[in-house]
């Protein structure tokens, strides 16, 4: 009879991988618009485990237009040159089907950019065509339960078009990015209170990722030497919270463009990683984050639009935080964003034959 | 108990490599997921607004590990108290510029930065020079900061090292994590010598030499070498911009392995002050195979060097000696 020790030795010799800790299976992550500025920032972060965790191997799928094929290949080359331990493969393509094939996570950054003199209506129109086509590819080729994050603007309405034309995809699996605004709000509060940003939480971004977004501090708290206190109490300046703070967060994108002569890439990419990471790995206890999700009618927000809500995440699912008090000021701001989103939806529908 | 924050300086922070590097540092890729950092970012006055934009974005990203940001055009403020300095800033080569002109501009920059670092950085500050000509910039820095231990001044060849691993992995169709111990000898330039004589690949039947598995000496001695040497140019051709993502990532690898140690049995490539090992003249910053432990690098000794390698290693040493002479002539 073989001793268990000699059996182990024989296993080690014949099939050593059986006795090693099996690493996780790779997750396929798609980034569209990957040859652009945000794409360049985000692929580096994804390949370093900053989206899905330091122990989660990834296969990157990168999609961009044929005109960007050389640039996209250059990024593929750089990813190989970086010898990244978590990166198990790179697909760089201008073919939608190939890009979407088997993906578990999709970050949709590609879209028609706003150009000087362009009306909002035109921007919506151009993007309807793109997101209608991406919806088909998503439905046909992505892995079941693929989680989608729409970044390209108008993000909420692009997400809505995507949802409408990919009816087989559960609505809860399609989201849009307001985590950048959420993180900006936390950053502004941390600066105001002179605390570290990790000690501020539970700001909320309500509504559209546009100038009608409502950064709400009614339920935000900060950790001080006296424990966790409401931000409203610590700032003790209702006017600042309702006016300057709100407009600073709303217009932060423009402020970054003014300084950099380019729009935010680093912070947008980082926020997209945060959004996806918290969605999949869960939010810390007692902390909520902001995500643009398909409205279920909570807080008097009509169903049928993508609206940013406070959510917690657990076991790969988001849930809207319920039962928060909404005062008159918040109500009017939240309603204004609803109005804008309904108008965007009406315009988008006008482009759909 | 949370660790005390480490101050990390990035010069040329408003540029492309800086923009890719600072979020990696702020996310713990350089010093570990439990190491808080304070970022010092330096650039020249014309880039002050852009630098402030980067600062705004770093605030907007709400990084848990980022305990502070100093964004400045003042080299003294930038260098004060820093334990890690990544020198990405330098004068870039422009169309029509002679080698001597690029050298001259950079020599002045690195002479002045040397004084500031010596006077204001933390005593055991670890320095990584990225800006080209990296080896010679690092040498100038060392010469003009005599109180900084020479072992604390290095230059980046980890990018070339990683590129070499990547090319082998592609050739053999294996994961890049299963390839190790390629070596980059010499100058971070087209005379660098990517050497696979001691490189191995992890296979189900154990670790095998790369030469044996590739079984194509012709390819290893020609195409492989020139691909790695010219990869930077290939990236520029494709992207119309030089490597930023991979350079930033490799800079993080270089510092991380230096500070936290290399894995058992693995060596990496670093441009370090030559002590005469392997017949390389002392007094040059030359890329060698090193292991790291306890925050110190040590050249891997005793590797057999064949005739082919000897010639390559000597050629790149020759180029570095010439650069040194040129650099000194710019100072007089």
Instruction: Identify whether the C-beta of residue A49 lies closer than 8 Å to the C-beta of residue A86.
Output: yes
Instruction: Identify whether the C-beta of residue A160 lies closer than 8 Å to the C-beta of residue A128.
Output: no
Angle between helices A155-165 and A328-351 (to 10 degrees): 50
Residue A30 CB contacts under 8 Å (≥ 6 apart), including other chains: A61, A62, A63, A99, A100, A103, A105, A106, A107, A142
What value of ipTM does the predicted structure carry?
Answer: 0.97
Contact of A284 with chain B, judged by CB distance below 8 Å, is answered with no
Cβ-nearest to A70 among B63, B238, B246 = B238
What is the rounded distance in angstroms from the CA atom of residue A16 to the CA atom of residue A28? 27
Q: Indicate if B188 belongs to the active site.
A: yes
Instruction: Identify whether the C-beta of residue A109 lies closer than 8 Å to the C-beta of residue A34.
Output: yes
Q: CA of A223 to nearest chain B CA: how many angstroms apart?
A: 14
Please enumerate, by residue number, every residue of B annotated as part of a binding site for substrate.
93, 99, 132, 163
**A135 annotated ligand binder:** no
Residue A195 CB contacts under 8 Å (≥ 6 apart), including other chains: A222, A223, A224
Q: Do B53 and A270 touch (CB under 8 A)?
A: no
Q: Do A40 and B245 touch (CB under 8 A)?
A: yes
Gyration radius of chain B over CA positions: 19
Q: Where in chain B is the domain with CATH 3.40.50.720?
A: 6-155
CATH C-level class of A179-351 = alpha beta
**A89 annotated ligand binder:** no
**A36 annotated ligand binder:** yes
The whole-number pLDDT of residue A1 equals 44
The whole-number pLDDT of residue B140 equals 97
Q: Do A71 and B244 touch (CB under 8 A)?
A: no
Order of all β-strands in the sheet with B126-129 = B66-72, B37-42, B6-11, B84-87, B126-129, B153-155, B268-273, B285-293, B296-299
Contacts of A79 in chain B (CB under 8 A): 245-246
Q: CA of A8 to nearest chain B CA: how many angstroms apart?
A: 16
Total Cβ atoms within 10 A of residue A140: 13
| Domains in chain A: boundaries | 25-176, 179-351
Place of tokens 């432990």: B293
Nearest Cα residue in chain A from B18? A266
Place of tokens 């309405």: A157
The whole-number pLDDT of residue A12 equals 56
What is the rounded distance in angstroms from the CA atom of residue B88 to the CA atom of residue B108? 15
Q: What pTM does this model have?
A: 0.94
Q: CA of B92 to nearest chain A CA: how many angstroms apart?
A: 20
Contact of A191 with chain B, judged by CB distance below 8 Å, is answered with yes
Q: Which residues of A are catalytic?
A: 209
Cβ-nearest to A50 among B27, B159, B244 = B27
What is the rounded distance in angstroms from the CA atom of residue B47 to the CA atom of residue B41? 11
Q: What Å distances lie between residue A276 and A183, A213, B254, CA to CA?
A: 14, 21, 29
What is the rounded distance in angstroms from the CA atom of residue B165 to the CA atom of residue B171? 10
Contact of B57 with chain A, judged by CB distance below 8 Å, is answered with yes
The whole-number pLDDT of residue A14 equals 57
Instruction: Identify whether the C-beta of residue A256 lies closer than 8 Å to the C-beta of residue B56.
Output: yes
What is the rounded distance in angstroms from the CA atom of residue B201 to the CA atom of residue B266? 12
Q: What Å distances lie between residue B95 and B98, B101, B249, CA to CA?
A: 9, 12, 27
Instruction: Identify whether the C-beta of residue B295 lies closer than 8 Å to the C-beta of residue B188.
Output: no
Instruction: Identify whether the C-beta of residue A110 lies closer than 8 Å to the C-beta of residue A63.
Output: yes
Residue A144 CB contacts under 8 Å (≥ 6 apart), including other chains: none
What is the rounded distance in angstroms from the CA atom of residue B310 to the CA atom of residue A301? 73
The kind and range of the H/E element at B271 are: strand B268-273
| CATH superfamily label, A25-176 | NAD(P)-binding Rossmann-like Domain (3.40.50.720)
First vs last C-alpha separation in chain A: 76
| Helix, strand, or coil (residue B63) | coil
C-alpha dihedral over A173, A179, A180, A185, to 10 degrees? Answer: 160
What secondary structure letter does DSSP report for A121? H
Q: Do A83 and B176 touch (CB under 8 A)?
A: yes
Q: CA of B179 to nearest chain A CA: how many angstroms apart?
A: 10
Low-confidence ranges of chain A (pLDDT < 50): 1-4, 19
Contact of A186 with chain B, judged by CB distance below 8 Å, is answered with yes
Closest CA to A335 of A203, A177, A212, A204: A212
Contacts of B159 in chain A (CB under 8 A): 81
Angle between helices A179-193 and B48-60 (to 10 degrees): 100
Is B6-155 assigned to CATH 3.40.50.720? yes
CATH C-level class of B157-327 = alpha beta
Q: CA of B272 to nearest chain A CA: how many angstroms apart?
A: 21
Strand runs labelled E in chain A: 27-32, 58-63, 87-93, 105-108, 147-150, 174-176, 200-201, 204-206, 214-216, 221-224, 227-230, 289-294, 306-314, 317-320
What is the rounded distance in angstroms from the CA atom of residue A339 to the CA atom of residue A38? 29
Contact of B165 with chain A, judged by CB distance below 8 Å, is answered with yes
Contact of B234 with chain A, judged by CB distance below 8 Å, is answered with yes
Q: Where in chain B is the domain with CATH 3.90.110.10?
A: 157-327
What is the rounded distance in angstroms from the CA atom of residue A114 to the CA atom of residue A112? 7
Q: What is the pLDDT of residues A222-249, one digit of tens each?
A: 999 889 999 999 999 999 999 999 999 9
Identify the active-site residue in B40, B161, B188, B254: B188
- 10-residue mean pLDDT profile of chain B (332 residues): values are 93 98 98 98 98 98 98 98 98 79 91 96 97 96 96 98 98 97 96 97 95 97 97 95 96 98 97 98 97 98 97 98 94 78
What secondary structure letter does DSSP report for B279? G
């Amino acid at each position: 009879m073989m001793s268990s020790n000699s059996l182990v030795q024989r296993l080690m010799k014949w099939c050593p991988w059986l006795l090693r800790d099996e690493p996780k299976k790779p997750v396929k992550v798609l980034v569209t618009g990957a040859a652009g500025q945000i794409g360049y920032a985000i692929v580096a972060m994804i390949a370093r485990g900053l989206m899905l965790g330091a122990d989660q191997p990834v296969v990157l799928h990168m999609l961009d237009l044929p005109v960007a094929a050389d640039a996209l290949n250059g990024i593929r080359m750089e990813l190989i040159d970086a010898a990244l331990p978590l990166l198990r493969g790179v697909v760089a393509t201008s073919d939608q089907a190939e890009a979407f094939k088997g993906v578990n996570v999709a970050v949709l950054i590609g879209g028609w950019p706003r150009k000087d003199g362009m009306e909002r209506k035109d921007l919506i129109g151009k993007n309807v065509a793109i997101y209608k086509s991406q919806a088909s590819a998503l439905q046909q080729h992505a892995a079941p339960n693929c989680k989608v994050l729409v970044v390209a603007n108008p993000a909420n309405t692009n997400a809505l078009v995507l949802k409408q034309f990919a009816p087989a995809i559960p609505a809860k699996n399609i989201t849009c990015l307001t985590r950048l605004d959420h993180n900006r709000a936390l950053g502004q509060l941390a600066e105001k209170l002179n605390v570290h940003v990790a000690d501020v939480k539970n700001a909320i971004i309500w509504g559209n990722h546009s100038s009608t977004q409502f950064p709400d501090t009614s339920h935000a708290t900060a950790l001080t030497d006296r424990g966790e206190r409401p931000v409203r109490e610590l700032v003790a300046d209702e006017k600042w919270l309702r006016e300057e703070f709100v407009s600073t967060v709303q217009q932060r994108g423009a402020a970054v463009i003014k300084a950099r002569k380019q729009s935010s890439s680093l912070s947008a990419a980082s926020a997209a990683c945060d959004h996806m990471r918290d969605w999949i790995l869960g939010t810390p206890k007692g902390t909520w984050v902001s995500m643009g999700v398909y409205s279920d009618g909570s807080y008097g927000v009509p169903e049928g639009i993508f609206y940013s809500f406070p959510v917690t995440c657990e076991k790969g699912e988001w849930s809207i935080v319920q039962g928060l008090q909404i005062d008159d000021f918040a109500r009017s701001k939240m309603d204004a964003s609803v109005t804008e989103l309904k108008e965007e939806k009406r315009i988008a529908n006008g482009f759909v034959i | 108990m949370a660790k005390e924050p480490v101050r990390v300086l990035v010069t040329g922070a408003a540029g492309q490599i800086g923009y890719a590097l600072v979020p990696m540092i702020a996310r713990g890729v350089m010093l570990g997921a439990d190491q808080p950092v304070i970022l010092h970012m330096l650039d020249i006055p014309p880039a002050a607004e852009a630098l402030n934009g980067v600062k705004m974005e770093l605030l907007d990203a709400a990084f848990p590990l980022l305990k502070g940001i100093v964004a400045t055009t003042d080299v003294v403020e930038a260098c004060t108290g820093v334990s890690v300095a990544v020198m990405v800033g330098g004068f870039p080569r422009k169309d029509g510029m002679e080698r001597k002109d690029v050298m001259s501009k950079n020599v002045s920059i690195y002479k002045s930065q040397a004084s500031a670092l010596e006077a204001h950085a933390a005593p055991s500050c670890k320095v990584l020079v990225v800006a080209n000509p990296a080896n010679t910039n690092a040498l100038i820095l060392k010469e003009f900061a005599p109180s900084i231990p020479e072992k604390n001044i290095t230059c980046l060849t980890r990018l070339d090292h990683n590129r070499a691993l990547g090319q082998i992995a592609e050739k053999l169709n294996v994961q890049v994590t299963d390839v190790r111990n390629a070596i980059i000898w010499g100058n971070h330039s087209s005379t660098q010598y990517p050497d696979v004589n001691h490189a191995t690949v992890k296979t189900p039947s154990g670790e095998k030499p790369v030469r044996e598995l590739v079984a194509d000496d012709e390819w290893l001695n020609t195409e492989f070498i020139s691909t790695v040497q010219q990869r930077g140019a290939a990236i520029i051709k494709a992207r119309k911009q030089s490597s930023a993502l991979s350079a930033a990532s490799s800079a993080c690898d270089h510092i991380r392995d230096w500070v936290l140690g290399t894995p058992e049995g693995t060596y990496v490539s670093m441009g370090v002050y030559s002590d005469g090992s392997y017949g390389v003249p002392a007094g040059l910053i030359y890329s060698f195979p090193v292991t790291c432990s306890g925050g110190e690098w040590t050249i891997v000794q005793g590797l057999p060097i064949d005739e082919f390698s000897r010639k390559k290693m000597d050629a790149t040493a020759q180029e570095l000696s010439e650069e040194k002479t040129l650099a000194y002539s710019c100072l007089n």
